[in-house]
A and B are shown apart, each in its own frame.
Chain A
Amino acid sequence: MKTLLDCNKTCVVKVIKLNTKGDLKQRLISFGIMKEAVLEVLEHAPGKSTIEIKVGKMRIALRAQEAELIEVQKI
């Protein structure tokens, strides 16, 4: 199983599943991070603690703990 956290910079992936529920899941969905969505990893903050991704035209910052919950597949 590969998660968003495992992806390197400039990697383009597709979301398979969100391994979370409740508020956080709703939050991710409201940012457009949902099944089938295409994400691009743009940048890692020092120590890979936070990552910046691109969903559609929006840039979003996520913490490593959250990125780990997003199951992805390389395309």
Chain B
Amino acid sequence: MNEVDPKACPITANHIKVALVGQPNVGKSMLINSISNAHLHVGNFSGVTVDKTEVLFDYEEYSFTVIDLPGTYAFTDYTIEERVTHDYLCAEDYDIIINVVDSTNLEKNLQLTSELLTMSKKVVIALNMSDEALKEKITINAKYMSELIGVPCVQVSAVTKEGIGELIEAVIKKHENVRNKPKLFFSEPVEEEIAQIVWYLDKHKFESANTHRNIAINLLKNNKKTYATLHDEPIWTELQPILIEASQHIELHHDSDDIKEAFAEEYAAFNRGIVAEVVKQGMKSVKRTTTEKIDSVLIHPVAGIPIFLFFMWSLFQLTFEVGAIPMEYIDSFFIWFGETLGATISNDDIRSLIVDGIIAGVGAVLLFVPNIIILFIGIALLESTGYMSRVAFLLDGFFHKFGLHGQSFIPLVTGFGCSIPAYMSARILKNDRDRLLTLFIIGFMSCGARLPVYVLFAGAFFSPEMAGNILFLIYISGALLGLAAAKLLKLTAFKGLDEPFVMEMPKYRLPSVKLICHTVLTKTMMYLKKAGTYIAAASMLIWFLSNYPHNLVLEESYASMISKTDKEDVKSKLKYELDEALLEASYLGRIGKFSEPLFAPLGFDWKMSVALQTGLAAKEVVVSTLGVLYSLGGDVDEGSSSLMGAISKNISLASAIAFIVVIMIYLPCLAASVVFTREAGHIKYFFYLFAFTSITAYVMAFFAYNIALFFT
């Protein structure tokens, strides 16, 4: 026995490395979550997992590493995510494959399975969604199926956690056993050709890790990697004519000039055979399925789009209306907290740092947690029910006119939550040009971090009844602007042919409360964590920049002026002037003053200019900057100590509109810019994006400002 503790060191005899493979949306990530209590992101559309993820866990004396691979329909390199899976399976080192299949759609799923069986790897099949299959009166004879294809098949349900133990046992058993050959048979003509090649390889005692049968199949399927390996072998010269003849025979038999198509038909025939043997469909109901019934309304040619717009409008209405309820309490809590804490600190500078810097800055951001939660719930519902793909279907025609792909909709909607996962999910687009175009547009979809800025300004200038509509209007106009920008880019920078649109529409699923809670909680925690660390640090920095250097000359001159007068109102007016003058003389004030001329045509004062610049780091910082600047600056009226009040008093409506326009369009944040650069593949694209968004933002804000000035 191995003496090393298996839990201390995963690379031992008892370590099993599992590759989790399956078609998209069959519940791979969900299965890992059930097995190991991990928390991988789960949704109901293809392309949730776009990169491989590793999960480690222990089971009895074994330690497991499971690699969750992006879903793939077949062994092709059609999209980036499929390439990730294909490359991993072919080139990396792992012990066993768990092939996850959807029990309710076995025939379709076996297409990938049959390709996996020609890989000479140990395979275990997880017949997932057995609970749903039961509901649809589908029974699968797993034992018989295991015998037929020579691979263990286990019925599991990631949702109810049924069969998870059996699955792990099967994996361990398969891992311990010597490889038994999967049974995958083709039609007689193809088998003859395979036998011919196998005979030739046997005769020459060709040595390889893969079986001769699999080599023969891969050669006939035109597998490039197999060709590459054999090409340098001496037997190649004799093998080649045999291969050419064999391919011709198969193509002739299938009446096709495409060997890949011929093999796809062979696999399909094999799969039909398996399904006919092992699957029993009880009493096929003549009634339409639930999904069909829902679809007849939601993707109705006339009503579909209005229904979608109504959903979105309701979401933003809710975001504002419901989100506003706890806001007041949070706001007054932070004011109280700042005052109470401030009273205990004697040092003026430290008190100012804590109360005006950290508490004002972080408090301004935390104020919007309720709104963020509602928005995240909406997006989680959209993701997990399967509605997302329907909207892609409805909007493809419309999107296509603007040079975007229907599937671009998925990253774009994700962009309403956060731009970072949105940039990642653009990987579902195959064509690089379409992908880049989508990457450029994602920023136009206002992310959750911008919501605080909008809520702040909408609340400051509009009545509560109108603010929700304004919010909806901001988001919609951002999206429309994005479409216009897409058209512009498509006509200029990204000219070219369109990518085909072929997309699966998943079944509707009722999302589990647990799943929604979990997704929303994770995202909210991320927001809070950001507020506690990044935003707090930024607030401190902004506080420092706005308080230093101390201008003693200014302070003294005002102090003497204040002492000369007796009238209280003159005193407070002088005090206010001093605060303003001090702020303007600070580092931040100097930066603001320096850049003010640049932003003057848009109607921004120097405080707004500074907020926009700090907002490049993250959009929440815009709010905290304004919070710090306005709490330091002269806020004479005692009644409105809140930021919203300060803004409505100090900023004109036209400037506010221009400000929102800039926020809508310019770069999301530093972190998103890094991810964008990585996904786009070159730093030059970042500079293009920066120039493109900044110029667009400036021009649009200029127009917005002047139009608004004209009307007000």
A-to-B contact residues, CB < 8 Å: 18, 21, 23-32, 34-37, 42-47, 49-50, 52, 55-63, 65-66
Contact = CB atoms under 8 A, between A and B. Distances in A.
B505 A52 contact: yes
Contact of B268 (A18, A25, A34, A65): A34
B394 A46 contact: yes
Interface string B486-521: 000000000000101111111000000000000000
Given A32-B111, A35-B261, A62-B501, 12 more contacts: A26-B74, A43-B296, A50-B397, A52-B295, A56-B107, A58-B105, A58-B504, A59-B505, A59-B506, A61-B504, A63-B501, A66-B500
B438 interface: no
B305 interface: yes
A34 B502 contact: no
A61 B393 contact: yes
Nearest to B431: A23
B647 interface: no
Contacts of A50: 393-394, 396-397, 406, 501
Contacts of A56: 105, 107-108
A3 B396 CA distance: 20
B343 to A, nearest CB: 63
Contacts of B108: 32, 55-58
Interface residues of B, number: 43
The B interface, classified by DSSP as helix, strand, loop or mixed, is: helix
A28 B430 CA distance: 14
B49 interface: no
A63 B404 CA distance: 13
B265 A34 contact: yes
Nearest to B300: A43
Interface string B269-311: 0000000000000000000000110011001011011000000
Contacts, number: 124
The A interface, classified by DSSP as helix, strand, loop or mixed, is: mixed
Contacts of A34: 261, 264-265, 268
Nearest to A57: B105
Interface of B: 73-74, 76, 78, 104-105, 107-108, 111, 256, 258, 260-261, 264-265, 268, 291-292, 295-296, 299, 301-302, 304-305, 389, 392-394, 396-398, 400, 406, 430, 498, 500-506
B406 to A, nearest CB: 7
Given A52-B505, A56-B108, A45 B78 contact: no
A45 B394 contact: yes
A57 B74 CA distance: 17
A31 B258 contact: no
B105 A63 contact: no
A58 B386 CA distance: 13
Nearest to A23: B78
Nearest to B299: A43
Contact of A45 (B73, B74, B301, B430): B301
Contacts of B292: 42
B500 A61 contact: no
Contacts of B261: 18, 25, 29, 34-35
Given A45-B394, A61-B393, A63-B396, A30 B505 contact: no
Given A34-B265, A46-B304, A66 B502 contact: yes
A36 to B, nearest CB: 8
A27 B107 CA distance: 17
B76 A30 contact: yes
Nearest to B76: A26
A46 B229 CA distance: 51
The interface centre, meaning the residue of A21, A31, A32, A45 with most chain B CB atoms within 10 A of its CB, is: A45
A59 to B, nearest CB: 4
A59 B501 contact: no
